[in-house]
Structure 1
């Protein structure tokens, strides 16, 4: 569903689904209750100022009755963000595709407390292209290759590559060395479930596997195990979960095998997971494409 509002400072407008019926007399009343943590008078003033619009771009007013607009769009009010002091690097740019090297700690897209400090917004502002859209995602904690569609006309062709698992992705990880190191290579499978409201995924041992990773051993040392990971599927936190299940939890992982209390970012201790290589046949030209990160993992053996 296209937004009736253009991107502003690289950030697209937020879309909200509004119930067509319910106990609220107006759209504004619903939003005041939905966003109860915000100042109600300030929110209502945004309706009066025409800052909240419907699908046709016309203003939704504070007295617009519930049911008159199923979706509304608005710009999130900027907050004071903690700066992420690492830059993105553009590795490739053409008319249809942009590939960057994303640093640790930087989210792929705006969300939560991060707006300007996201790879998407930084890239839109850097290249002056508000049509840029990520073709896939990386966790905020993960560094490495991230691909963006540069224009809507060809976006679907690249998105289908990922949907049809026609992209070869290679990751690299560093884990603390356990007393007994598994014998590699290993093809690890399990069933991963993402439950709403939970930051970690859950493994359901009773169900057929829906995730698969080939794990190979790289040269390590007496302190760490260095692995190469080739995921066949793309479930949330898949690589982190699979290594943790093998007793090889990734260094500096605050989620697996144990969810640690939320704490400020420690930029000296990034998650030791890197999106290292991407290969695919370009759906537009038919040419073989290969991209390799220029980043390295700080705790990898040298």
Structure 2
């Protein structure tokens, strides 16, 4: 459903579904209860200013009856943000596709306390392209390759590549060496059932159910302290790689979710999650040519030779 409001400062308007029936006499009464943490007078003033609109762009009055509109749009008031001090690097740009190297700590899209501090908003503002949209996503904690569509006309063709699992994705991770020094026999394919429940920050694993996630895990290297693995996910479940390595006793360094959920703390920029989206391969749906993109970043804790570029 297209928004009747244009993108502003790189951020699109928020769409809200309004019940067509219920105990609220007006649309504004519903929103006052829905957003109970905000000042009611402030919300009503937004209606009076015409800040809340319906699908044709017309303002919704504060006394508009419940059931008169089903969807409303408005701009969120941006929260105070402290700039995340790492930049997105553009690796490729053409008329249809943008490929970037995302740093750790930067979310793919705006949400919660991160609006201007998201890859999408930064890139929209940098390139002056309000049509820019992510084709897939990376966790905020994960660094590496991220693809965006630059125009709606060809967006669906690239989105179908991911939906049909026609993109080969390769990741790297660094984990602490188990205390006994023993590793699972690698390479191996790990499968389990992963379910994301609404309102929970971690996914749920159910070993009694048919697996819906699969990752090929290979050994890249190790030393006396860490293990460096190459990960080839066949599916794309939320937190899949973090869950699979943790299940093998190889929880990723600086992971605050798995194997244990740690207390929420401010970002420690000196301890980025050691997970990197390293490579993307696919046949371009428009040209038919093979496309390969590789990150320029490296995991700082990897026991690799040479002098890799630090990721943070």
TM-score (norm 2): 0.96
Match of 1:218 among 194, 213, 220: 220
Name the residue aligned to 2:150: 150
Which whole-Å CA distance do the structure 2 matches of 1:265 and 1:296 have between them? 20
Name the residue aligned to 1:129: 129
Name the residue aligned to 2:302: 300
CA displacement at 1:39 relative to structure 2: 1.1
Which whole-Å CA distance do the structure 1 matches of 2:303 and 2:28 have between them? 57
Which whole-Å CA distance do the structure 2 matches of 1:47 and 1:148 have between them? 34
Which whole-Å CA distance do the structure 1 matches of 2:219 and 2:82 have between them? 37
Which whole-Å CA distance do the structure 2 matches of 1:205 and 1:184 have between them? 21
Name the residue aligned to 1:50: 50
Which whole-Å CA distance do the structure 2 matches of 1:300 and 1:18 have between them? 50
Name the residue aligned to 1:81: 81
Which whole-Å CA distance do the structure 2 matches of 1:224 and 1:148 have between them? 33
Q: Does 1:254 align with 2:273?
A: no
Which whole-Å CA distance do the structure 2 matches of 1:120 and 1:145 have between them? 13
Which whole-Å CA distance do the structure 2 matches of 1:61 and 1:184 have between them? 63
CA displacement at 1:82 relative to structure 2: 2.1
- Count of residue pairs the alignment pairs up: 302
Name the residue aligned to 2:71: 71
CA displacement at 1:301 relative to structure 2: 1.1
Q: Deviations over 1:132-153 (max 9, x none)?
A: 0000000000000000000000
Which whole-Å CA distance do the structure 2 matches of 1:285 and 1:111 have between them? 34
Which whole-Å CA distance do the structure 1 matches of 2:77 and 2:195 have between them? 33
Which whole-Å CA distance do the structure 2 matches of 1:14 and 1:93 have between them? 28
Name the residue aligned to 1:175: 175
Alignment of 1:1-302 (within 5 A): 1-178=1-178, 179=180, 180-302=182-304
TM-score (norm 1): 0.99
Alignment root-mean-square deviation, CA: 0.5
Q: Deviations over 1:71-98 (max 9, x none)?
A: 1000000110121000000000000000
Q: Deviations over 1:82-126 (max 9, x none)?
A: 210000000000000000000000000000000000000000011
Which whole-Å CA distance do the structure 2 matches of 1:127 and 1:90 have between them? 11
Which whole-Å CA distance do the structure 2 matches of 1:204 and 1:123 have between them? 38
SS at the partner of 1:219? strand
CA displacement at 1:56 relative to structure 2: 0.7
Which whole-Å CA distance do the structure 2 matches of 1:16 and 1:209 have between them? 35
Q: Which runs of 5+ in 1 are unaligned?
A: none
Which whole-Å CA distance do the structure 2 matches of 1:206 and 1:247 have between them? 20
Which whole-Å CA distance do the structure 2 matches of 1:120 and 1:78 have between them? 15
CA displacement at 1:68 relative to structure 2: 0.8
Which whole-Å CA distance do the structure 2 matches of 1:91 and 1:41 have between them? 47
Which whole-Å CA distance do the structure 2 matches of 1:261 and 1:219 have between them? 31
CA displacement at 1:25 relative to structure 2: 0.5
Q: Which runs of 5+ in 2 are unaligned?
A: 305-312
CA displacement at 1:208 relative to structure 2: 0.3
